């Protein structure tokens, strides 16, 4: 091979090597282009600083990538829903009321359901149907159609939500918990001086009677200030509910029904299960025969 041919071959190999190096360099630059860095937002000079975020998504200044701090407020003082101080940029709160207590939808002081900002309608009833005097607008009583009062208690002291004698916080209708302590003070006696069982320190119940029901707290006698006993009878043996000598349970002041039997089915005169004629409370004799006079 001549010198000229050797030189030509040398330069061809050199050109091929340069071409390969250039292609390799282009591949490296292409890989670098695929790398994305979180560089944050640019500052006034146009420089974009690199931002590092913790596992909760906040940078060293406690700001997330959307511009909110850890309490959920941005630099303008607005939360993630656009409210500042409880109001949006147009002056409406989350429930559609402005500072003048006008509703966003109706343009009046009442919402679509007819209640004002405080949940009271034009007749003074709240959203549950109770007024300030605790009467329900449908029933006219202190209980709603389902038999529950304003706080969710029925006449038996059972709560509407829990179905027990305690509410969701563990307190009964008189605000005592199961160990007998008040909701707000953790004391044994309420402001009226009664414990969770309704008894005061002297042993009198909320109804004004002692445990036996024979002494009234106010009068100190077996009659209350209206002249009736614990069972509801006055000195003449007349009941305060029925207006007769028999109570709603059909017993008189001495505890006997019209046939002379007491609650244990014992007769007043004979002191046995049978009256003077030999018949029991069901008008049957000892052989099971029915009293023909009945």
Residue 50: the pLDDT is 62
pLDDT of 228: 97
Question: pLDDT over 70 for what percent of the chain?
Answer: 83
Q: Say which residue, 34 or 293, is predicted with more confidence.
A: 293
| Mean pLDDT of the 7-13 span | 55
Average pLDDT over residues 262-274: 96
Q: Which of the residue ranges 11-15, 30-34, 86-90 would you say has the lowest mean pLDDT?
A: 30-34
Give the mean pLDDT of 146-171.
96
Give the pLDDT of residue 31: 41
CA atoms of 206 and 229, how far apart (whole Å): 15
Three-state SS for 4? helix
The torsion angles phi and psi of 281, rounded to 5 degrees, stand at: -60, -25
Model-level pTM? Answer: 0.43
CA dihedral sign, ordered 220, 225, 230, 236? positive
Higher-confidence residue of 47 and 30: namely 47
With 0-12 / 13-18 / 19 or more C-beta atoms within 10 angstroms meaning exposed / middle / buried, residue 229 is buried
Average pLDDT rounded to a whole number, residues 43-61: 74
Residue 14 has pLDDT above 80, yes or no: no
- Least confident span in 11-15, 179-183, 227-231: 11-15
How many Å apart are CA 202 and CA 194, to the nearest integer?
10
pLDDT surpassing 80 at residue 101: yes
Measure the CA dihedral 238/240/242/244, to 10°. 10
- Give the span between the Cα atoms of 50 and 264, in whole angstroms: 91
Q: What is the mean pLDDT of residues 122-129?
A: 95
69-75 long-range contacts (CB < 8 A, ≥24 apart) are: none
Higher pLDDT, 184 or 20: 184
Q: Please give the average per-residue pLDDT across 241-268, as a whole number.
A: 96
pLDDT at residue 8 greater than cutoff 80 = no
Q: What is the pLDDT of residue 37?
A: 43
Task: Report the pLDDT value the prediction gives residue 11, as an integer from 0 to 100.
Answer: 53
28 pLDDT above the threshold of 70: no
pLDDT for 23 equals 52
Q: Which residue has the tokens 């509910």?
A: 241
In this prediction, residue 5 carries a pLDDT of 54
Mean pLDDT over each residue of the chain, to the nearest integer: 86
* Mean local confidence (pLDDT), 182-202: 87
Amino acid 77: pLDDT = 86
């Amino acid at each position: 091979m001549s010198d000229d041919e050797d030189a030509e071959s040398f330069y061809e190999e050199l050109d091929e090597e340069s071409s390969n190096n250039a292609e390799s360099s282009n591949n490296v630059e292409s890989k670098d282009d695929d790398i994305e860095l979180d560089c944050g937002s640019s500052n006034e000079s146009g420089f974009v600083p690199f931002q590092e975020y913790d596992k909760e998504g906040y940078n060293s200044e406690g700001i997330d990538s959307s511009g909110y701090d850890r309490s959920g407020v941005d630099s303008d003082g607005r939360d993630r829903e656009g409210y500042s101080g409880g109001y949006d940029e147009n002056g409406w709160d989350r429930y559609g009321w402005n500072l003048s207590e006008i509703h966003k939808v109706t343009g009046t002081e009442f919402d679509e359901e007819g209640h004002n900002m405080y949940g009271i309608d034009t007749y003074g009833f709240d959203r549950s149907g109770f007024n300030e005097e605790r009467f329900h607008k449908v029933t006219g009583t202190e209980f709603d159609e389902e038999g529950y009062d304003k706080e969710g208690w029925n006449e038996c002291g059972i709560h509407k939500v829990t179905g027990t004698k305690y509410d969701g916080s563990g307190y009964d209708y008189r605000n005592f918990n199961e160990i007998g302590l008040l909701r707000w003070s953790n004391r044994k006696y309420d402001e009226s001086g009664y414990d969770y069982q309704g008894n005061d320190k002297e042993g009198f119940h909320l109804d004004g009677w002692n445990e036996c029901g024979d002494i009234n707290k106010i009068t100190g006698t077996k009659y209350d200030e209206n002249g009736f006993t614990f069972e509801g009878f006055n000195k003449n043996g007349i009941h305060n509910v029925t207006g007769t000598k028999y109570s709603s349970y059909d017993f008189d002041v001495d505890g006997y029904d019209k046939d002379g039997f007491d609650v244990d089915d014992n007769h007043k005169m004979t002191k046995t299960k049978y009256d003077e004629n030999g018949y029991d409370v069901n008008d049957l004799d000892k052989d099971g025969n029915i009293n023909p006079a009945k």
